[in-house]
């Protein structure tokens, strides 16, 4: 009887070891497949397209296309950014807007931006993100000078009229400073930048605010900005169906306005998930470029859009 019990116990131990081994092997395989999928997924680029209808868009801007690139941190997609440049070429926008954190301060930004500029025929408009703002004063001066020399239009604190068929829409660049990313509304220096845009605009015009940080959307909504384009939140880094983004970077205060389109009063806010996985390892969060198509008065009046 004892020998049978010993044999049973021996077989039971062997079976438990076998099951434990199978579980470990299965977990290793799942981890390997998950890692492989995530690496592959983060090398792909989605194109997220939005049609924007507004009665203030002049008829000559019907079908006007804006391509938004955000939060790249000098990452290449394919050799010499072939993937991004092919998307720009295929989509053939009227303008390209770079909504911040395009460069990494730890890498050579000149060659990276020159490659984009030399291969994109459309006008390029740039708004600084917190990465560019964190350059030291000498580096920042060099960076801004480089943009000017290469006809990459720095929009921070500026207003620009875009013209088509003798009609205009207006592009604005946020005046935020690096200190404003702490969201210290009580700070006397930050308050003028975070409580108003610093611009005057007309309610009957179509006004676009380019702001790397989307958290000031309500400020812009109160000031007649019809469309706000932002980035920063990278989609919440880790995304799950039905839950959205689950994690935030250290420079992000919250996960509000993390990706997609939002109505803030009568203003439309579009937030790009951005492109980079250099700083934060994205999970189920494929990089994206945003395409915005404008439709003006005739299309809206006729009910076509």
Question: How is residue 124 written in tokens?
Answer: 């390029």
pLDDT at 175: 84
Find the mean pLDDT for residues 143-161: 94
134-144 confidence digits (pLDDT tens): 899 999 999 99
Spatial contact of 269 and 228, defined as CB atoms under 8 Å apart: yes
The position carrying tokens 């179509």 is 206
pLDDT at 3: 61
Q: How far is CA 48 from the centre of its chain?
A: 11
pLDDT surpasses 80 at 4: no
Dihedral Cα 280, 286, 287, 289, nearest 10 deg: -160
User: Model confidence at 183, in pLDDT bands (50, 70, 90)?
Assistant: low
pLDDT at 184: 45
Q: Per mean pLDDT, which range of 178-187, 220-229, 255-264, 279-288 is the poorest? A: 178-187
Q: How far apart are CA 231 and CA 98, in angstroms?
A: 10
Find the mean pLDDT for residues 58-67: 95
**Collapsed DSSP state (helix, strand, coil) of residue 263:** strand
Domain boundaries, given as residue ranges, for the chain: 1-41, 46-301
Strand boundaries in 155-257, DSSP class E: 159-164, 167-173, 207-210, 227-230, 239-240, 244-245
User: Model confidence at 305, in pLDDT bands (50, 70, 90)?
Assistant: very low
Find the mean pLDDT for residues 7-27: 77
Query: Which of 215, 301, 191 shows the shortest CA–CA distance to 264?
Result: 215
Question: How is residue 297 written in tokens?
Answer: 């008065």
118-129 confidence digits (pLDDT tens): 999 999 999 999
pLDDT at 259: 92
pLDDT at 185: 46
Q: Per mean pLDDT, which range of 36-45, 159-168, 188-197, 247-256 is the poorest? A: 188-197
- Type and span of the H or E element at 66: strand 65-69
pLDDT surpasses 60 at 28: yes
Q: Per mean pLDDT, which range of 184-188, 222-226, 258-262 is the poorest? A: 184-188
Cβ density class 120-133: b for 16+ within 10 Å, e for less: beeebbbbbbbbbb
224-240 confidence digits (pLDDT tens): 899 999 999 988 888 88
CATH homologous superfamily for the domain 46-301: Metallo-dependent phosphatases (3.60.21.10)
Query: Which of 242, 239, 230, 241 shows the shortest CA–CA distance to 274?
Result: 230
List alpha helices for 42-92, DSSP H. 82-91
């Amino acid at each position: 009887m004892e020998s049978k019990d010993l044999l049973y116990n021996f077989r039971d131990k062997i079976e438990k070891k076998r099951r434990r081994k199978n579980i470990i092997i299965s977990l290793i395989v799942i981890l390997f497949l998950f890692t492989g999928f995530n690496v592959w997924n983060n090398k792909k680029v989605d194109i997220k397209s939005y049609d924007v209808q507004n009665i203030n868009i002049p008829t000559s801007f019907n079908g006007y296309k804006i391509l938004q690139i955000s939060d790249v941190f000098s990452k290449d997609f394919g050799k010499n950014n072939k993937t991004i440049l092919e998307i720009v070429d295929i989509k053939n926008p009227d303008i390209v807007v770079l909504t911040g954190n395009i460069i990494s301060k730890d890498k050579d930004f000149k060659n990276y931006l020159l490659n984009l500029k030399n291969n994109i025929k459309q006008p390029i408009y740039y708004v600084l993100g917190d990465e560019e703002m964190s350059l030291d004063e000498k580096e920042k001066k060099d960076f801004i000078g480089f943009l000017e020399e290469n006809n990459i239009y720095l929009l921070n604190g500026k207003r620009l009229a875009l013209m088509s068929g003798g009609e205009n829409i207006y592009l604005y660049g946020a005046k935020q400073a690096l200190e404003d990313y702490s969201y210290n509304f009580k700070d006397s220096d930050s308050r003028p930048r975070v409580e108003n845009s610093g611009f005057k605009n007309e309610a009957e015009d179509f006004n676009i605010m380019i702001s790397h940080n989307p958290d000031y959307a309500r400020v812009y909504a109160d000031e007649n900005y019809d469309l706000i384009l932002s980035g920063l939140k990278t989609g919440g880094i880790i995304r799950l169906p039905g839950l959205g983004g689950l994690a935030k970077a250290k420079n992000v205060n919250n996960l509000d306005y993390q990706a997609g389109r939002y109505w803030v009063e009568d203003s439309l806010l579009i937030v790009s998930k951005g492109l980079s996985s250099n700083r934060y390892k994205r999970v189920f969060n494929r990089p994206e470029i945003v395409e915005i198509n404008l439709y003006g008065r005739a299309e809206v009046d006729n009910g076509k859009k």
